[in-house]
Structure formats: structure tokens, C-alpha cells
Amino acid sequence: MILTKKVKTIAAATIGSCLICVSAYAAGAEKTNKYAAEPINEVEFYGNPSSSISAGVSVPAGSSYLFTSGTVPPVINKDGKTVYERYGDTKTQGIGILKEIEKQLKEKGLTLADVAYLRVYVTADAAKENKFDYQGWFDAYAQFFGTEANPVKPARSTVGVAGLVSSDWLIEIEAVAVYPKHHNQD
């Protein structure tokens, strides 16, 4: 019985001192955390200014997001005999997808300037020696982002994959947009 009281006392003291240490560490960490010094009030893109994409994006707390599902290329000629006649090459498909995403965003009161992140899946192109046509995708992207009309350069991942749901599709894109702060204050 005396042993049990001693064990309980030691356990309580140990737990208490751990809590004090954790509290002290948290208080000290809060003061030294340079990112906690100033709250983020608007979406901030960061990285190399000469890059066509952002290294990352900081989003203010309480922001609302819109996530698109993987968007696939529109049919340009349903009677086409080849993938290129039906959907176009990677660049054409990428342009078609970005126009579709632009429409989806518009329906929700957003624009491509509100896009913070893109995830892009590219498949090998038979017309390009069965290689990924990354340049075709980059050329499509450059028509919509980092332009005079839309200077935003979202963070982005481009991934080469073995295939998509349709063998005619050479590219599929997911977008994440952030509603401007004034939307959140209504």
C-alpha cells in the first residue's frame, strides 16, 4: 500500500513536470516561430520569380476552397479516326481542359487567377516516340498562367502516368482554387 502511494506520487510528479516542460516549450516556440508573427491575410505565392510555377502557396486560415475532380479533354471531333483528330495532341488537350476548368470556376464566382494548385497527369504520346509530351503541356499552361492577363503562377505537380481512363486522353488536370477573402466575409 505504501509502495502504491509512492508510485502514484512519482507518476504524478513525472506527469506534472512533463506538462510544465511541454507548456514552456510551446510558449517559447510560439515566440520564435517567424511564421506566427504576422497572420496571412491573403493568398501568397512564393518561389523563384523567374519560374513558371510557384514553389508553394500560403493560404490564410478560414479560407474557402474549390477542388475540381480530374478534368479530361473535350472532344473536338467525335468522328475523328485518331486520338489527335478526336481530342488533339497534349497541348490541344491541355488547352481544352484549362478552358473547361475556367468555366467550372466561373460558375462558382472564381477565375483562373484564384487557382493555387494544379495536379497534372500526362501519358506517353505515340506521336512523340511514346514519350511524355511535357513541353506540350507547358505550352498550354503558359497560355493561361504567368501572363499579362493572369500573372498568377500556381504551385503545380506534373506526373507522368501509365494511362488514364480513356486511351485517347493524353492529359488530365485537377485544380484547387481559393476564394478571395471578400467571399468569406459575406
Greater confidence (63 vs 3) lies with: 63
Mean pLDDT of 40-58: 91
| CATH number of the structural domain spanning residue 174 | 3.30.1330.40
Total number of domains constituting the chain = 2
Question: Within this chain, do residues 48 and 31 fall inside the same structural domain, yes or no?
Answer: no
Q: Are residues 19 and 84 in the same domain?
A: no
Residues 30 and 111 in one domain: no
Same domain, 29 and 109: no
The share of the chain scoring above pLDDT 70, in percent, equals: 77
Q: Are residues 1 and 83 in the same domain?
A: no
pLDDT tens across 89-123, in order? 999 999 999 999 999 999 999 999 999 999 999 99
Same domain? For 124 and 169 the reply is yes
Residue 23 domain boundaries: 1-38
pLDDT at 149: 96
pLDDT confidence tier of residue 1, bands split at 50, 70 and 90: low
Residues 91, 168 within the same domain: yes
Residue range 67-82, pLDDT digits in tens: 999 999 999 999 999 9
Query: Do residues 96 and 178 share a domain?
Result: yes
Q: Decide the pairing of beta strands 115-125 and 171-178.
A: antiparallel
Residue identified by cell 473536338 is 76
Residues 180 and 138 in one domain: yes
Which residue pairs, CB below 8 angstroms and at least 24 apart, start in 139-144? Answer: 139/91, 139/94, 140/90, 140/91, 140/92, 140/93, 140/94, 140/95, 140/98, 141/52, 141/94, 141/98, 142/52, 143/95, 143/98, 144/98, 144/102, 144/112
